[in-house]
């Protein structure tokens, strides 16, 4: 089957929500509200249409990734960044590279748009293969309590994190719910 990755279109919201719900249905640490976060962000200033990507096989949504606007604010000022969440692959297509395709496609597009970094809270063992490192290595923190090893950041360009440190500021729609 051919896997294509493309930007979300105007008629894709329901299929994306269904795929996201299925991806997280059996994940123990999930609050099963990831699809609601996507819906909130879609109506927010944090939304970047080019960075909501879906993976499709035979016209069926099998995965989705979302990067939305955030910032890293420290003593030396505020730098734009992107928050990656959620990343979803439907259970029967997991472990076949769909997640990797989505992550790499999102990084390429984010770089093309001029972004220097991506932040996320997730599984270090999964994301380190894409170059993510602990936020602590860059003196970056998140505004909520979560184990440090789950807080990661990626420089999209060689100087993408130069002089960047401080606290991640998420869109209100990312935090609420």
Ligand X SMILES: CC(C)(COP(=O)(O)OP(=O)(O)OC[C@H]1O[C@@H](n2cnc3c(N)ncnc32)[C@H](O)[C@@H]1OP(=O)(O)O)[C@@H](O)C(=O)NCCC(=O)NCCS
Binding site for ligand X (CB under 6 A): 23-24, 27, 87-89, 94-100, 122-123, 125-126
What per-residue string of b and e applies to 104-117 under the rule 16 or more CB within 10 Å gives b?
ebbbebbeeeebbb
Q: What is the closest distance, in whole angstroms, from the C-beta atom of residue 162 to ligand X in the complex?
A: 27
Q: What are phi and psi of 62, to 5 degrees?
A: -115, -5
Closest to ligand X by CB, 74 or 122: 122
Closest to ligand X by CB, 17 or 98: 98
Closest to ligand X by CB, 95 or 114: 95
Q: What is the closest distance, in whole angstroms, from the C-beta atom of residue 38 to ligand X in the complex?
A: 13
- The DSSP H or E segment spanning 19 is helix 13-24
Q: What is the closest distance, in whole angstroms, from the C-beta atom of residue 111 to ligand X in the complex?
A: 19
Closest to ligand X by CB, 66 or 72: 66
> Which residue is closest to ligand X by CB?
99
HSE-CB for 123 with a 13 A CA cutoff? 9
Q: What is the closest distance, in whole angstroms, from the C-beta atom of residue 14 to ligand X in the complex?
A: 18
Q: Is 133 exposed, middle or buried (0-12, 13-18, 19+ CB in 10 A)?
A: middle
Q: CA 73 to CA 24: how far, in whole Å? A: 31
Q: What is the closest distance, in whole angstroms, from the C-beta atom of residue 136 to ligand X in the complex?
A: 18
Q: CA 18 to CA 40: how far, in whole Å? A: 16
- The DSSP H or E segment spanning 100 is helix 98-112
Closest to ligand X by CB, 5 or 23: 23
């Amino acid at each position: 089957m051919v896997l294509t990755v493309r930007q979300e279109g105007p008629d894709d919201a329901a299929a994306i929500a269904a795929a996201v719900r299925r991806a997280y249905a059996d994940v123990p640490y999930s609050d099963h509200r990831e699809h609601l976060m996507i819906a909130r962000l879609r109506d927010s200033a944090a939304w970047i249409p080019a960075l909501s990507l879906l993976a499709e096989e035979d016209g069926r949504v099998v995965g989705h990734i979302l990067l939305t606007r955030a910032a890293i604010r420290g003593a030396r000022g505020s730098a734009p960044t992107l928050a990656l969440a959620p990343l979803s692959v439907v259970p029967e297509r997991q472990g076949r590279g769909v997640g990797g395709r989505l992550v790499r496609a999102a990084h390429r597009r984010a770089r093309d748009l001029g972004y220097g970094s991506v932040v996320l809270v997730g599984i270090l063992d999964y994301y380190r293969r894409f170059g993510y490192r602990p936020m602590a290595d860059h003196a970056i923190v998140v505004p909520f309590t979560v184990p440090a090893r789950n807080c990661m950041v990626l420089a999209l360009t060689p100087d993408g994190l130069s002089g960047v440190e401080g606290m991640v500021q998420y869109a209100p729609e990312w935090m609420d719910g």
